[in-house]
Amino acid sequence: MERKIWIGIGILAAVLLILSLFIFLYRPTPTREQLLKKFEEFEGKSQEMKEMGYNVTEAEGFARRAWQAFNRKDYIQAEEFLRKAFESLEKARKILVIPEEVKEASREKLRNIRVAVVYESVTDYRAFNRSLNDVVQHLKSVNADFVFRGFWVWGPCAERCSDLPEEVLNIYEERGFDCERQGYYYAHLRDVISSIKGEMPDIIFCSGIPAQRINFIEIDPITNKIYEKDEVEKMALDPSKWGMTTSKEELQRRLQNTMIGTGGYFPDITNPEFQKLLLDRAKKQIDAGADAIWIDMLFSQARILAKLTNDPYHPAVRESYEASSKIIDKIHRYGYEKYRRYIYVGTWWTFLELPYPTPDVDFITVSPLPEEVERMSLNDSRWEDIIKKAKNLKSVTILAFIDWGTEHSPMVVFSQKLEPEKQKEFLVKANQFFASKGIVFAYPLHGGFMGKSAKKLSFNKWNIYDSLAPEFQIFETVKELSSIRY
């Protein structure tokens, strides 16, 4: 019985072989006209993809060999090479290369910005009893050409507030956060950016996303997928993934207490699901009109694990660093592939302290330390050290701003410990200092958390810094500084 089975298999194999040979030997030879039409189709696709930034070198190589076969009148061989050329185009379509001249021209524009302002966020004007026109006029009056952190996503954010899960809306309500009034939804962001650019077409609008936090409930703003807590927890950073003794629970508890607060986890940047969520946040803001994406603490995981292992070359550190770098590349690629726009990507400068190839960032951010603000004196050696390290980056822009986020942040010191006159004095000193170092200083026009225990509130209500608030009144100083030519 077994012998009959094997004989049957042998006969079937022989039949298939003969059939294949028949098809190969007797397949119709393509005509000269058919091939010329395919060559024309290839040239059109190849040229279009080349202009879009794709590398089509391999495909063009197959096409040349197809022409050689065509000129020999070996039309079957020519057809085979053309098939490979088209296959190569499809492979190349997955790997976009942004033309170097596009990148350099874009970075040159970024290096030439004169007036950068912090305005977080341009969508919350209703909460401050302002109009969209007020926002535009604030920006125009200081001749801003770069808006930093113009929109910031910390909690779940969707196309419209009604798209958010009811549980998220309840949490916002408990915190006194009105999604509609704060303008915390992408449809509104799109309208606001459009209005700003209608008046200021050359302005660079930069929005922000955090790499250090994922909320217990999340929503992907592109797919609208809701992530429940158990799904989110799977994306949380777990040191045991690399064989470390520190437990996931211990590390998360530590980071919740020191860095990200309650209601969320510190995510794992090497987790594909989190990478997609982070990228979709960036994509949604680009779709809304953002020209630049600032990623808060993008390389913090690599730095945390380097400290945890006491080994900057540990596989966990290297993999985290590489994953963070690829996020930058993917944002660049998305903007250029979909919109033919070069999207700037920036993050904190501290990745320069790790011994790895520098990522393809367009700008890095630095903040005065709380003690520098309180002393009203910037540490020259500290800033020179940062500048020296940044020289390894190609044509990067350094942006300084007064940072916030903790109860002892530079913004807390600036707003709570310095009187308005001293705030103005610090801004003047900082403006001169940074200009002398070739660093762009982003003026605090609107935005910046002043701490949970802030006593001096904007308009006696908000713990968000505002240059027009009667408690601070530094707007005129910002106007004066923005007009200075160094």
Segment 427-475, tens digit of pLDDT: 999 999 999 999 999 999 999 999 999 999 999 999 999 999 999 999 9
Domain 100-482: which CATH class? alpha beta
pLDDT attached to residue 50: 74
Q: What is the mean pLDDT of residues 347-360?
A: 96
Look at 54 and 45; give whichever has higher pLDDT: 45
Residue 11 has pLDDT above 80, yes or no: no
pLDDT attached to residue 74: 87
pLDDT attached to residue 22: 46
CA distances from 357 to 162, 318, 394, 439 (A): 43, 10, 12, 23
22-31, 144-153, 385-394, 407-416, range with the lowest pLDDT: 22-31
pLDDT attached to residue 51: 62
With a CB cutoff of 8 Å and minimum separation 6, the contacts of 97 are: 53, 54, 55
Residue 311 has pLDDT above 80, yes or no: yes
pTM for this one? 0.84
Split at pLDDT 50, 70, 90, the class of 13 is: low
Whether the Cβ atoms of residue 354 and residue 299 lie closer than 8 Å to each other: yes
pLDDT attached to residue 34: 87
Contacts of 36-41 with C-beta under 8 Å, sequence gap 24+, read 38/79, 38/82, 39/63, 39/66, 39/67, 39/70, 39/82
Split at pLDDT 50, 70, 90, the class of 23 is: very low
Give per-residue pLDDT as tens, 171-212.
999 999 999 999 999 999 999 999 999 999 999 999 999 999
Residue 24 has pLDDT above 50, yes or no: no
Enter the tokens of residue 80: 């085979």
pLDDT attached to residue 21: 44
pLDDT attached to residue 178: 95
Split at pLDDT 50, 70, 90, the class of 52 is: low
Residue 19 has pLDDT above 60, yes or no: no
Instruction: Supply φ then ψ for residue 296, to 5 degrees.
Output: -70, 130
14-23, 106-115, 251-260, 452-461, range with the lowest pLDDT: 14-23
User: Which CATH number does 31-97 carry?
Assistant: 1.20.1270
State the alpha helices, DSSP H only, in 93-240.
100-111, 132-141, 166-174, 186-199, 229-233
Residue 134 has pLDDT above 50, yes or no: yes
Whether the Cβ atoms of residue 133 and residue 472 lie closer than 8 Å to each other: no
Q: Distance (Å, rounded) from C-alpha 258 to C-alpha 266? A: 11
pLDDT attached to residue 93: 77
> Which range has highest mean pLDDT (15-29, 31-45, 89-103, 306-320)?
306-320
pLDDT attached to residue 25: 45
- CA distance from start to end of the chain: 95
Split at pLDDT 50, 70, 90, the class of 94 is: confident
Sequential DSSP letters for 43-107? HHHHHHHHHTTB--HHHHHHHHHHHHHHHTT-HHHHHHHHHHHHHHHHHHTTSB---HHHHHHHH
Query: Side chain identity at 475, as an amino acid letter?
Result: F
Give per-residue pLDDT as tens, 241-257.
999 999 999 999 999 99
Q: Distance (Å, rounded) from C-alpha 483 to C-alpha 386? A: 27
Residue 268 has pLDDT above 80, yes or no: yes
User: If you search the block for the tokens 């006593």, which residue do you land on?
Assistant: 455
Q: Distance (Å, rounded) from C-alpha 146 to C-alpha 154? A: 22
Work out the percent of the chain whose per-residue pLDDT is above 90. Answer: 80
Q: Distance (Å, rounded) from C-alpha 370 to C-alpha 405? A: 12
pLDDT attached to residue 325: 97
Question: How many DSSP H helices and E strands does the chain contain?
Answer: 18, 13
Work out the percent of the chain whose per-residue pLDDT is above 70. Answer: 93
